[in-house]
Amino acid sequence: MIVRLQRQGALVVLVILLALGGLLFRTFLTTYTLGNLAVQASFLAMIALGMTLVIISGGIDLSVGSVYALSGVLAAYGSTRWGLAGALILPLLVSGVIGLIQGTLIARLRMAPFIVTLCGLLFARGLLQLITSEGSTTYLVPPGSAFRWLGDGTVLVVIAVIAYLVGGVVLQRTPFGMRLFAVGGNEDAASLMGLPVARTKISVYVVSGLLAGCAGVMSAAQLGSGVTVIGVGLELNAIAAVVIGGTMLTGGSGAVSGTLAGVALLFVIQELINQLGRFNSNMQNVVSGAVLVVVVVLQTLLSRARR
């Protein structure tokens, strides 16, 4: 029961808030409002999915916000040069390579994930500034480009849903998923069992990079341009969603379904505050922070009670 509650805590709160929203506002439980929320949430959902895998492996990835922004700019740039193929391949290649380098430094040279990905955050943001001449150049996706089609709201949500289905199956049903739990639970034990610890860790950072890259590509397709100023602090939102979703930062446990509920929860809270309207928009952050505290304390207490 307690395990259930800890796993599904975010979902329970989400359902309560949705019901509350439905009662308070006639426009809340409509396809229009919820659909809009889903489209807005799809970018963070992609990033938080990668973050979930990284955190289960016992690490953390602070670079995702910068990689997201960088990929968006690269996608817009690629679409002006090489059309749809460029818009997809260029950003994913770069974000994958960034993930590969980070993973290698962490797994082979045993550097702290926090520091390595912090450097990744600075590096990707620097690269972004460089290719946009310090943010003064904006690359626009050419009108009529096939790439724009990808930015349709429904397509974005479908991509995110598919990513979560694949992520869930990979995590729960494949040897790679099992290795992730083993490495995050006890790295030394996993190593003694003969599991390829380093390779597993490197892969998970590559996946996280690729998912952040994917989110960037999606945002460029939707906005029709590469926006340089997005994604600052997004890594923290992603971590918050993961933690609210019941994945412990200590590694070795967690589920992608919880993360999805966590992402949804963050956006529903925001929307509720918006609709209430009485609040200063700055209150959004205050409430988000307070919710994070409440959920995290509950999660921690519940996981203690389990033992």
- CA–CA dist 228, 264 (Å, integer): 25
Show the site string, 195-234: x = touches another protein by CB under 8 A, - = not. -------------------------------------x--
Query: Binders of another protein among 134-173, rule CB under 8 A?
Result: 134
45, 56, 67, 116: which one binds another protein (CB under 8 A): 116
CA angle 123, 126, 132 (to 5 degrees): 140
| Cβ nearer to another protein, comparing 48 with 88 | 48
Q: How far is the CB of 71 from another protein (least distance, A)?
A: 16
Q: How many residues bind another protein (CB under 8 A)?
A: 47
Buried b (16+ CB within 10 A) or exposed e, 186-222: ebeebeeeebebbebbbbbbbbbbbbbbbbbbbbbbb
Q: Which stretch binds another protein (CB under 8 A): 73-81, 111-119, 150-158, 161-169?
A: 111-119
Show the site string, 79-98: x = touches another protein by CB under 8 A, - = not. --------------------
Both structure tokens of 128:
């972004």
What values do phi and psi take at 197, rounded to 5? -60, -50
* CA–CA distances in Å: residue 135 to residues 3, 132, 138, 141, 253: 47, 5, 7, 17, 40
Interacting residues with another protein (CB under 8 A): 60, 105, 109-112, 114-116, 118-123, 125-130, 134, 232, 236-237, 239-240, 243, 249-250, 280, 282-290, 292-293, 296-297, 300-301, 304
